[in-house]
Structure 1
Amino acid sequence: MAVARLAQPVNNLVRRMSMNTSPKSSKIDKQTEEKDTFKILLIGDEGVGKTAFCKMFQDKSFSKDYTPTEFGEFSAKVTIKNKEYTVNLIDTSGRHNLNRIRRLFYSDVDVFLVCFSINNYDSFRHIIEHWLPELEKESQSSVKKLLVGLKGDLFRSRSTSRRLIRRLTSRGRNVTWREMQKVGTEKSFDEVMICSSKEGSEQIEEVITRAIQITLGGTGNYARRRNPNSEERSKCKIM
C-alpha cells in the first residue's frame, strides 16, 4: 500500500490519539498520580507478534494467520490496586518504507514496548541497529521503555523439540535470556519481559500492568531476574 493512500487514515488516528492523551509532565507529581489514560506504542520488526499482542489485549482472541499491519489502534481497561486505567495501544508497522509515518505516533507516548520475536534473532539485533536509534531520535530521553520478547511459548526448550526449534528459527537462532538481560542493562530499559499472545491474555495484561506501574513511578526489577527456563518462572517472565 502506498504511503499516499495511508496518509489520511493515519492523520485521523494521530489526531484522535492526541486528544486522548493527558498533558505531559516532566516529573512524577500529582498530575501523574491522577493520570488514568495511557498511550503505549509498540515498535519492532514486521512479523514479530505486535498485532497479536494488541488483539489479545483488546479482544482476548488469537489467530495463527499472519496479516501485515500498517497501523492500528487498540483500547481496553486494566485495574491496578482497585483503580481502573484506560490503555490505548498503538500497533505500528515495522516496514522501513513507512518510517516517516510511524514517527508521527511518537508524540505524547507514555511507554514504548520495543518488541522482538524470541525465535527471530535478527529482530532482536535490529533493536540495537534500528529501533533504539529511532526511539532516541524521536522521543524524550526520559520516556519509559520496556524490552519485550514475543512468542514466548517458543522459548520453552523443555517442551519444544530440537527439530521444531530448528524449523521455527528460519530467520536465525533463538534469543537467549542472557542476551536480553545484557541489552536491557546496557541500553537502560526499565524492564525486560517475555510473553506469549498464544497462551492467553493474562501474560499480555502483566506486561501492560508493569508498563503502567513503571510510568506511575515504579522501578525496574533487574534484581529479580532469573533464567526463564527455571521451575520458578511465571507464565510471563520478568528478568
Structure 2
Amino acid sequence: MDGENDSISSSSSVPSSGSREYKIVMLGAGGVGKSAMTMQFISHRFPDYHDPTIEDAYKTQVRIDDDPAYLDILDTAGQAEFTAMRDQYMRGGEGFIICYSITDHRSFQEAAEFKELIYHVRHTYDIPIVLVGNKTDLEEYRQVRKFYLVNVPFAIVVQAL
C-alpha cells in the first residue's frame, strides 16, 4: 500500500486537516469478496491472494460533494466465529456496504440478515446501506438471479466484479 492509504486505527470524526471522516463498515458472508473490493477501492488493484480477514481498517481520501473527506473503511470478517464483534462495529458505523456473491445464494440471504441486524443494533431504519452483488465475472456460476433484485428493500443495489 502507498502512504496515502495506510491502515488506520483512528476514531475521530474530524481529522486534524478539518476534512469530514465517514466510518464505513463492509459486511457480508465469508468468501464473498469484501476484502478484494475494499483493496480495489483503496489501491486500485485486486490482490492476487488474501488471507481470510478477521478485521482490517483502511483510510482513504476522497471528494464528496466537491469537498475533501476521509473514508474510514472497516473490512470485517464474514466467518461465523467472529459474530461477537459485530454489535460493536455496527454501533460505530455511519454507513454500511453489504456484499454478497452472485455465485452463492446463501450469501444473498445473509445480506438481508445483516441489514436486519444493523436495524436491530441501531434501533433505526435511517442508516445508509448499499447492497453489492459481487463476482459478476463468474456469470456462468450465478445462483442469485437478477429478478430477485427487483423488490430488494435496499437504498442502492450495485453489481460489482
TM over 0.5, shorter chain? yes
Report the number of matched residues: 150
Q: Which runs of no fewer than 5 residues in structure 2 stay unpaired?
A: 1-7
Write the distance in 2 (CA, Å) between the matches of 1:102 and 1:38. Answer: 18
Preserved CA contact (<8 Å) 1:113 1:145: yes
Question: Which of 63, 86, 89 matches 2:73?
Answer: 89
Identity %: 23
| Inter-CA distance 64–176: structure 2 relative to 1 (3 Å threshold) | farther
Question: Which of 183, 186, 191 matches 2:156?
Answer: 191
Select the structure of larger CA radius of gyration.
1
Q: CA deviation at 1:135?
A: 1.6
Q: CA deviation at 1:35?
A: 7.1
Preserved CA contact (<8 Å) 1:152 1:194: yes
1:69 aligned residue: 53
1:121 aligned residue: 105
Question: Which of 27, 38, 41 matches 2:25?
Answer: 41
Write the distance in 1 (CA, Å) between the matches of 2:131 and 2:19. Answer: 23
Structure possessing the higher relative contact order (Cα contacts under 8 Å, 6 or more residues apart): 2
Deviation string 1:164-216 (CA, Å, 9 cap, x unpaired) is: x2xxx3xxx42122212322xxx3x11111112xxxxxxxxxxxxxxxxxxxx
Write the distance in 2 (CA, Å) between the matches of 1:46 and 1:145. Answer: 19
Q: Tell me the SS of whatever aligns to 1:136.
A: helix
Q: How does 1:21-170 map to 2 (within 5 A)?
A: 21=13, 36-128=20-112, 130-141=113-124, 142-155=126-139, 165=140, 169=141
Instruction: Compute the TM-score of the two structures, normalised by the length of structure 2.
Output: 0.81
Q: CA deviation at 1:81?
A: 4.3
**Letter in structure 1 aligned against 2:55:** F
Q: CA deviation at 1:76?
A: 0.9
Preserved CA contact (<8 Å) 1:149 1:195: yes
Write the distance in 1 (CA, Å) between the matches of 2:131 and 2:91. Answer: 20
| Inter-CA distance 81–135: structure 2 relative to 1 (3 Å threshold) | closer
Q: What do you get for the CA RMSD once the two structures are aligned?
A: 2.2
Instruction: Compute the TM-score of the two structures, normalised by the length of structure 1.
Output: 0.57
Task: Flag the structure with higher strand content.
Answer: 2
**Letter in structure 2 aligned against 1:131:** F
Task: Flag the structure with higher helix content.
Answer: 1
**Letter in structure 2 aligned against 1:195:** A
